[in-house]
Amino acid sequence: MIKFQKYNIFFLSAICLLFGYSCKQELLEGPKASGNEPFKVYFLNGTDNGIINGLSGTDLSINRNERTADFPIRIFRGGQAGSEPFTVKVTADVSTIEALIQSGALPVNTVVLDAASFTFQEDVTLTVEHDMMKGNLLPRIKIDQLEQYIGQHVAIGFKISGTSRYTINEEMDNVVLFFNVNSLAGPVQFTEANAGNNPVINVANTSFTVNTTDNEVNIPVNIQRAGSADLGNFTVNVEVDNSKIADMIQSGALPANTVTLSPLDYSLDTEVTLSRTSDGINGNVIPKIKINNLDQYSGQKAVLGLKLKNSSEFSINPDADQVLIYFDVDSLLDEAQPPVNLLDPQGWTNLTINNDNNVVFTINDDGSIKATGGSWGHAGAYQAIEVRAGKKYKIDMRVKGSGATDVWYEVYVGTAAPVQGSDYSSGGSLLALNTWTGCGKSAFDAQLSSIACAGNGGVFTATATQTMYVVIKSGGADLGAQGITASNIDLRRVP
């Protein structure tokens, strides 16, 4: 009898192969199928405790309209036989999560995601895809519900509880999906403050720009929203907050000679739009520093404090919501202001040295100065300039004359204010013609620095941020028939 049954089965199978696929399907996969391993239903990631890192282990997608993060989890049926769609019943099951945390398989700061924060379809349809029966369980995480979990990992578990056909592989019927909330949709924060650094930003290390039209320095300070989920643009409000400055100076995080900028020294657009960039979800708040206001702080550091006030969509990270931007005032001015002539063509004043008119300095409207006469007279002209400590400057001018006899022609930049009726020597001679030394005796028309035979070439370094005085003086027996004319008089900062 047994032999007859086996014969009938083999015979019937052969008939099915010849006359129809449906017969084969009924025999091998039908409702009475034995559940042999190739035809069991399972989670693809069901091995190794079934743990799935949702951010790296799934094809995560963001649904902007629904504001959800969708994590597809693959369900397979083993074997290639059969193409009839069927359904798999899935239930939420968090029973294994606590043990996985205790064992270290899940991060220690993992918590179970509450049921109100996600949805999923309980019935998953499996169909043929690339010659395999498969389908996706699709947990949909409500991103707006994640704020309560900032700084933590969350986990949810799922279990295959039934199928409309086939049996379940009970060794791979559970998965646990987990992810770092901050890596998906974290809080808003200053990028520099979040790096774990002292929240002090040296402007020299930023990509600041100079607006020459408005005479401002624009300093971008980056704001980021942690996480990869792009839900579209949103806004963040920023305010000035200098409350931490005193403590930062006291601790040495800011130099002792740091001063706080006045509201008159800057402008600030307080609403910042954050959007997707190549570096994540970012935006810049841009304090605009008024260059013309900075001279009052020369020789010091200046600082401005910023604080994230609120966000239109996401929470603010209270540990990274403040930064201080500071800069060396003189260095920023050097960067922001190209070297210019510090001398005003209309700024010259006559200086009487000898109480006679034997040498006369004539100041012209174009700023040129003509010295004429002789008879051992002595006179000059001067004007005040403002310099910054530690900066190097150079003075030069075009001089023209027909040749002089027993004459000196000297240029000084000193700290002492000229006094009418007195000679001037503060700072020492920087440039000079001296007929006794050998220059100025014959006709000349050149830069003074190129024909001078005394002085140091016209270069000096300011020892302090202060007012200094430029003095041009001349005297002697005979300045020549044409006198000595200085034009294009230029004094500017040099490297």
pLDDT per residue rounded down to tens, the chain (495 residues): 333 333 343 443 443 343 333 333 333 333 333 333 568 999 998 777 899 999 999 999 999 999 999 999 999 998 877 789 999 999 999 999 999 999 999 999 999 999 999 999 999 999 998 888 999 999 999 999 999 999 999 999 999 999 998 999 999 999 999 999 999 999 999 998 875 556 899 999 999 999 999 999 999 999 999 999 999 999 999 999 999 999 999 999 999 999 999 999 999 999 999 999 998 999 999 999 999 999 899 889 999 999 999 999 999 999 999 999 999 998 898 888 878 899 999 999 999 999 999 999 999 999 999 999 999 999 999 999 998 888 899 999 999 999 999 999 999 999 999 999 999 999 999 999 999 999 999 999 999 999 999 999 999 999 988 999 999 999 999 999 999 999 999 999 998
| Residue 341 domain flag | no
- What is the structure's pLDDT at 388? 83
Same domain? 234 vs 279? yes
Same domain? 263 vs 385? no
Pairing of strands 258-260, 301-311: parallel
Helices (DSSP H) in 30-118: which residue ranges?
Answer: 54-57, 97-103
Question: Bridge-partner residues for 370, per DSSP?
Answer: 362, 485
Element (H, E) at 52: strand 51-53
Question: Bridge-partner residues for 405, per DSSP?
Answer: 478
For residue 117, the SS3 value is helix
Same domain? 163 vs 247? no
Residue 482: which CATH number? 2.60.120.260
| Residue 216 domain flag | yes
User: Residue 270's closest CA among 235, 312, 304, 239?
Assistant: 239
Same domain? 254 vs 363? no
Same domain? 261 vs 328? yes
8-state DSSP, 244 = T
Same domain? 331 vs 370? no
What angle do the packed helices 2-19 and 21-29 form, to 10 degrees? 140
- Compute the distance between CA of residue 124 and CA of residue 138 in angstroms, rounded to an integer: 9
Q: Which contacts qualify for 34-37: CB closer than 8 Å, 24 or more apart?
A: 35/166, 35/167, 37/78, 37/169
- What is the structure's pLDDT at 239? 98
User: Residue 163's closest CA among 42, 24, 47?
Assistant: 42
| Residue 22 domain flag | no
| Residue 303 domain flag | yes
- What is the structure's pLDDT at 129? 87
Boundary residue ending a domain (134, 153, 182): 182
Q: Are 289 and 270 in contact (CB under 8 A)?
A: no
| Residue 230 domain flag | yes
By residue range, what is the domain housing residue 442? 349-494
- What is the structure's pLDDT at 391? 87
For residue 122, the SS3 value is coil
Output the six-digit token pair for 421: 């009726």
Boundary residue ending a domain (159, 182, 205): 182
Same domain? 466 vs 393? yes
Same domain? 324 vs 413? no
Residue 58: which CATH number? 2.60.40.1740
- What is the structure's pLDDT at 78? 87
| Residue 3 domain flag | no
Same domain? 239 vs 199? yes
| Residue 7 domain flag | no
Q: Are 336 and 295 in contact (CB under 8 A)?
A: no
Q: Are 494 and 459 in contact (CB under 8 A)?
A: yes
- Compute the distance between CA of residue 373 and CA of residue 476 in angstroms, rounded to an integer: 9
Element (H, E) at 104: none
- What is the structure's pLDDT at 22? 34
- What is the structure's pLDDT at 198? 66
Which of 37-48 are b and which e, b meaning 16 or more Cβ less than 10 Å from the residue's Cβ? eebbbbbebbee
Q: Are 72 and 158 in contact (CB under 8 A)?
A: no
- What is the structure's pLDDT at 8? 43
- What are the C-alpha distances in Å from 417 to residues 137, 193, 215, 437, 451? 86, 49, 31, 28, 28
Domain count, the chain: 3
Same domain? 375 vs 390? yes
Helices (DSSP H) in 206-293: which residue ranges?
Answer: 245-251
- What is the structure's pLDDT at 334? 85
User: Residue 381's closest CA among 391, 399, 369?
Assistant: 369
| Residue 17 domain flag | no
- What is the structure's pLDDT at 195? 59
Strand segments (E) across 300-443: 301-311, 322-328, 349-352, 359-363, 369-387, 392-401, 405-414, 429-434
- Compute the distance between CA of residue 416 and CA of residue 409 in angstroms, rounded to an integer: 19
- What are the C-alpha distances in Å from 330 to residues 221, 298, 466? 21, 6, 13
Cβ-Cβ contacts under 8 Å for 8 (sequence gap 6 or more): none
Same domain? 196 vs 332? yes
The order of strands in the sheet holding 140-142 is 61-63, 68-70, 140-142, 118-119
Same domain? 62 vs 167? yes
Boundary residue ending a domain (149, 182, 215): 182
Helices (DSSP H) in 95-224: which residue ranges?
Answer: 97-103, 181-185, 191-194
